[in-house]
Amino acid sequence: MKKKDQTLRGAEGFNDYYSQIYGDRWDKIKAAFVEENQSVEFKHPAAEKSYFLDSASVFAALNLPVKGAQAILDLCAAPGGKTLILASRMDSDARLSANERSSDRKFRLDTVVKTCLPEEINSRITVSCSDGSLWCTRQTECFDRILLDAPCSSERHVFQNPKYLNEWSKSRIKTVSMEQWALLSSAYRLLTIDGIMVYSTCALAPDENDRMIEKLYKKFNKDGDSFELLPSSVDITEIKDYVKMTCPSFEKTEYGYSIMPDVQNGAGPIYFSIIHKKKSVIS
């Protein structure tokens, strides 16, 4: 299998690889990719513009409880949809840091925050442009809530773009998963004791999803009491004034949850895991 994986390339390799994972379901997933994904409108009544995002993305962001939190971090925030969901729910005295490593995408994020939220909220948001994997070298255990919506393989976009599909290779997953681990281990160090983090991707590859959380266990939870995984818990009424949607259903995975487009009217894919930190990693 490993030898074959090394030669998987292009559209044929892409299909072979995901067929190995999803079996007969893969054809249904591809059919759902062709259809328009299930977007919903975020519209704050006091803001200038609306923003449209996948209902699965809304649901993933809702799984980060922000009530009572003072310091919130969206570590890979562009283009900004999940930032809006977090910001619209945070307490009036809370602050949100929204970071993006790409300067072009940071500009887009800054625009979304300023035009899709009222001044009272966006004045408490700091937008930055830096590599999130390096944040832990400057500070630790300083955010009580973190959303890490990590860069990923984004198979839906690959499938829809002939150029990306022809350039696809299995090595791309390995490269991306290395980036994800650097971000996840940094975010975990940034999380305060008793803090909560949501790790999410729009990937289908297990190496980018459950295997990331498995790696977190091996690194930080060897004794089994450093962190725990929380069940999904969403209160849709928190955003009833800004978003009109029906919550998609999710599937349980080994360490988290997934929302799959083939059974959720095109919503997703989204993977997310909810991590509650119980012990310090500072020695």
Q: Which residues pair with 166 in a beta bridge?
A: none
Collapsing DSSP states into helix, strand and coil, what is residue 100?
A: coil
Q: Decide: 242 and 44 in contact? Cβ < 8 Å.
A: yes
| Residue type at position 92 | S
Pairwise CA distance, residues 145 & 196, whole Å: 5
Token couple for 134: 């390096």
Pairwise CA distance, residues 65 & 230, whole Å: 11
Q: Is 5 exposed, middle or buried (0-12, 13-18, 19+ CB in 10 A)?
A: middle
In the annotation, is 202 catalytic? yes
Q: Which residues pair with 51 in a beta bridge?
A: 42
> In terms of Cα–Cα distance, which of 120, 59, 63, 68 is closest to 90?
68
Question: Out of 129, 142, 202, 247, which one is annotated catalytic?
Answer: 202
CA-angle at 109, arms to 103 and 115, nearest 5°: 140
Pairwise CA distance, residues 147 & 86, whole Å: 9
Known catalytic residues? 202
